[in-house]
Amino acid sequence: MSKLDLGRVGVWTFGAPTPEQAAEIEKLGYGAVWPGGSPAGDLAFVEPILAATEKLQVATGIVNVWTAPAAQVAESYHRIEAAYPGRFVLGVGIGHPEHTKEYRKPYDVLVEYLDELDAAGVPVARRVVAALGPKVLRLAADRSAGAHPYLTTPEHTAEARQLIGPDAFLAPEHKVVLTDGSAEATAEARAIGRQTVDFYLNLSNYLNNWRRLGFSEDDIAKPGSDALIDAVVAHGTPEAIAARLTEHLDAGADHVTVQVLGGWDKLVPTLTALAGPLGLRG
């Protein structure tokens, strides 16, 4: 199985970008968009993005296995693949125990879901699994093209690469806030970062991952220490942010996905500013 190739840098969005935004993202040289937020299993947003672009790939980041039935998702995969061969990657992942009423052992549910995708003919080479801890990282390498870790650090990327080996695809997500680098702007960027990270400070899988990375209980207690926010939200000048994102690539990532914080109006301007320092054709 050849390794997925989505380019060095992609764009993670909470919800789907418009086809017009996707076209701009492609022109800037980003290889893929990763719409997140547990989309519905019909994946109806995918084709309009692919129709508006020529080579840009779309990957889900991620389909929630609790809320999107595997049979429906598999049908959607085949529909999209038939219309746009080789341009769609199915990213799947487990939910949070805090947000699921009937919550069985997450690992077992994820294995069952992957079994259903196998039975429905969704290729292992065109799917990835959201993974943080060692057990699910290994599952991602064994049962999919690779792993899509979320809200992590380059240190986690290095550890993940060791666990999954050289042949599995690895695509971490990293949040960014573009500023001029001043002290005042840094404080504002941290505030924006905290607004987003706050949601995850109640979720055991993220808290446990940060503990494994060496963050203290004080770091991960609400509202999150400056050290934690700075680790998971890159902020500052385009050059500073690009350097932080490149740390993931240097640590073994094949592809790093950039989540721009601060609102949809910041998406394309921030990606435009980052394209040059990231070495993209934009």
Answer yes or no: is pLDDT of 103 > 90.
no
DSSP secondary-structure letter at 31?
-
At 2, is the pLDDT very low, low, confident or very high (cuts 50, 70, 90)?
confident
CATH classification code of 9-173+237-275: 3.20.20.30
- For the stretch 255-281, pLDDT in tens is 999 999 999 999 999 999 999 999 997
Instruction: Please state at what angle helix 267-275 crosses helix 238-250, rounded to 10 degrees.
Output: 70
Q: What is the pLDDT of residue 189?
A: 98
- For residues 105 and 271, what is the distance between their CA atoms, to the nearest angstrom? 38
> Across the chain, how many H-helices and E-strands are there?
12, 11
What is the spatial distance between Cα 159 and Cα 91, in angstroms, rounded to a whole number?
Answer: 21
Exposed e or buried b per residue across 50-62, where buried means at least 16 C-beta atoms within 10 angstroms of its C-beta: bebbeebbbbbbb
Mean pLDDT of 240-261: 98
**Which tokens is 10 given?**
């992609």
pTM, entire model: 0.96
Nearest by Cα to 248 from 4, 9, 7, 5:
9
Mind listing the pLDDT tens digit for each residue in 116-155?
999 999 999 999 999 999 999 999 999 999 999 999 999 9
> Which whole number is the average pLDDT over 178-193?
96
Start-to-end CA distance of the chain, whole Å, equals 31
Q: Where are the domains of the chain?
A: 9-173+237-275
Distance CA(12)–CA(112), nearest Å, equals 27
